[in-house]
Amino acid sequence: MTAFRVWKVVPLAAFLSLCTLAAPAWAQNREKAWEVNPYFGQFRFDKVDGATLLDNTWDIGFRFGYHWTKHHMVEFGFFGGSTDSPDIDVTVDLLGGQVDYLYNFFVHRRDKVVLYAAGGIGVINTSSFGFVSDPEAIGDQVHSSWNIGGGIRLFGGARAGFRFDVRRVSFSDGGNEITYLEPNIGMTIVLGGAY
C-alpha cells in the first residue's frame, strides 16, 4: 500500500516542480522586500598543520534578509551542526549566528537567475563533551568568525525558488585557526516589496 502511494506522489511532485520552474517570473528581488531561506548543507573542515581536528558533518540553518535596493541586501542567519574529533573521543556541537552583506547580479532578463556575492561576520559557539584526560578540551566557548562566499538563486515563480550557496568560514579556537567550507542548498521565499 505504501509503495502505491509513493508511486503516485513522486510523479505528482515532479510535475508540480516542473510547472513552478516553467512559470514566468518578474523581478523577484524587489526593493524593500524580505527574503527567508531555510537550508541544509555541510561543514567541510580544512586541516590544521596537516592534522584533521574536526570531521566533516551536515548542518542546518535559517536565514532572513532585507533588500533595501534591488542589488543590496543585509542578511541574518542561524545554523548548527554536530561533529567529532578523530584523534580524541570528543563530540563538538557548533551553533552560530551571522550578519552578511549580499550584492545581487541579475543574469536573466526577468530576474529568474540571480548570482550574488556575500561576506560578513558572526559568532560561533563550540560546545565539546566526551571522556578525555584533559578537562580543558571540554566545555563551551564563543568565537568571533568571518565568512565570504557567493551563490545563485533560481526562481521558478514570482516569489519562490531554490538557492545554492558556498561560504568560506574562519574562526580561532585555542590558538588554532579553524576554517571550513560550507556548501548548502535551500528554498528562498521573497515577501513583500515594491514593484
**pLDDT tens sequence across 135-185:** 776 888 999 999 999 999 999 887 899 999 999 999 988 778 999 999 999
What average pLDDT does range 7-26 have in this prediction?
50
CA distance linking residue 19 with residue 22, whole number of Å: 5
CA distance linking residue 102 with residue 80, whole number of Å: 21
Task: Say which amino acid occupies 25.
Answer: A
pLDDT at 8 (0 to 100): 56
CA distance linking residue 161 with residue 145, whole number of Å: 29
pLDDT at 83 (0 to 100): 93
Answer whether 83's CB lies under 8 Å from 55's CB.
yes
pLDDT at 17 (0 to 100): 53
Residue keyed to cell 532585507: 66
Q: Which residues of 110-123 are buried (b: 16+ CB within 10 A; e: fewer)?
A: ebbbbebebebebe
Coil, strand, or helix at residue 70?
Answer: coil
For residue 23, pLDDT beyond 80: no
Out of 3.40.50.720, 3.40.50.300, 2.40.160.20, 3.90.1150.10, the CATH code matching 25-192 is 2.40.160.20
Q: How confident is the model at residue 88 (pLDDT cuts 50, 70, 90)?
A: confident
Q: How confident is the model at residue 2 (pLDDT cuts 50, 70, 90)?
A: very low
CA distances from 53 to 85, 92, 94, 103, 181 (A): 6, 11, 14, 33, 14
Provide the residue ranges of all domains of the chain, joining segments of one domain with +: 25-192
Answer whether 41's CB lies under 8 Å from 183's CB.
yes
